[in-house]
Amino acid sequence: MERRNTRQRQQILDTVRALDHPDADEICAALAGEQPRAGRATVYRNLNLLVQQGDIRRIETAGADRYDGCLRPHYHLHCRCCGRVFDAHMPVVEGLDKQLQDTDGFAVEGYTIEFIGLCPACIKLKSGGR
Amino acid sequence: MERRNTRQRQQILDTVRALDHPDADEICAALAGEQPRAGRATVYRNLNLLVQQGDIRRIETAGADRYDGCLRPHYHLHCRCCGRVFDAHMPVVEGLDKQLQDTDGFAVEGYTIEFIGLCPACIKLKSGGR
DNA sequence: CTCTGTGCAAAAGATTTGCAAGGTG
DNA sequence: CACCTTGCAAATCTTTTGCACAGAG
């Protein structure tokens, strides 16, 4: 199917790349001031399209999904309190799928590692309080 | 805070353990025939409670979250087509968090590995078609 | 009896969809 | 000028919440 090049689509892609693992809402907010400000539906439609095309990655998260404009293999730190996602600084582990012993017919295409914990902001909230 | 032992709570816990990574809807469906059939709100309330208490684990997934009654450390196979979750048969990888080089103040509490791909049922759908 | 837990229905969020109008190639 | 895209609003879907009543301890 033919794919056209609209300003909205380009803006949304640029925004995902510019922000740090934004969710749909943060993308809409960032686009608020733009020329032909993209509506919510357009943002969602294009996020799905860009994910399908492989231009961005979707990070499934509680509440709202987040999006990652960086395609290099890497892992994430996921804050269990605010839900935000950060990049983990560590070498990529190769061949983890080789350790799978029996996938019962499941076709493994890739894998990711997710570290869970608290981000600096949420640590501050818990301790200092208020 | 005091916690009471209701039949609904026990049924919901049993159901999560009996089913294979069910989502809230599948749990409601399974409970449909039970004595005091638990309402949707009760299911959600108890799932949250059981997760907090550490009796079950929550698996954040696109669409609806899923729940895991198995607490032993293990990893998952996640079908990108139907969203279902299966257990990965492989030894647990120790010390991955030791490889982190710089967490920028993020407090790592644990980690998980998720394999992505297609489950047998979805492979069949894609090929045979219809 | 007291107070936590349940059911129901309404509310709140996130995401999708129908449709007429707009803009790209 | 064909038809992919957008905007808007309504529709869906998942999960949460308010409130009166039920039931565990």
Q: Which of B21, B98, B100, B111 to mutate to test the interface with A (most CBs of A within 10 A)?
A: B111
- Please check whether strand C approaches the CB of A24 to within 7 Å: yes
Task: Pick out the nucleotide with least CA–C1' distance to B42.
Answer: C6
Task: Inform me whether the C-beta atom of residue A54 falls under 8 Å from chain B C-beta atoms.
Answer: no
Distance, in Å, from the CA atom of B22 to the CA atom of B17, rounded to the nearest integer, reads 9
Q: pLDDT at position B34, please?
A: 82
- List pLDDT tens digits, range B73-125: 999 999 999 999 999 999 999 999 999 999 999 999 999 999 999 999 999 98
**How many angstroms from the chain centroid is the CA of residue B27?**
11
- Per-position DSSP letters for A27-73, written without gaps between them: HHHHHTTSTTPPPHHHHHHHHHHHHHHTSSEEE--SSS-EEE---S-
Task: Pick out the nucleotide with least CA–C1' distance to B46.
Answer: C5
Q: Could you read off the pLDDT tens digit of each residue along chain A, which spans 130 residues?
A: 788 999 999 999 999 999 999 999 999 999 988 877 899 999 999 999 999 999 999 999 998 999 999 999 999 999 999 999 999 999 999 999 999 999 999 999 999 999 999 999 999 987 765 4
Task: Inform me whether the C-beta atom of residue A100 falls under 8 Å from chain B C-beta atoms.
Answer: yes
- Please check whether strand C approaches the CB of A65 to within 7 Å: yes
Q: pLDDT at position A129, please?
A: 53
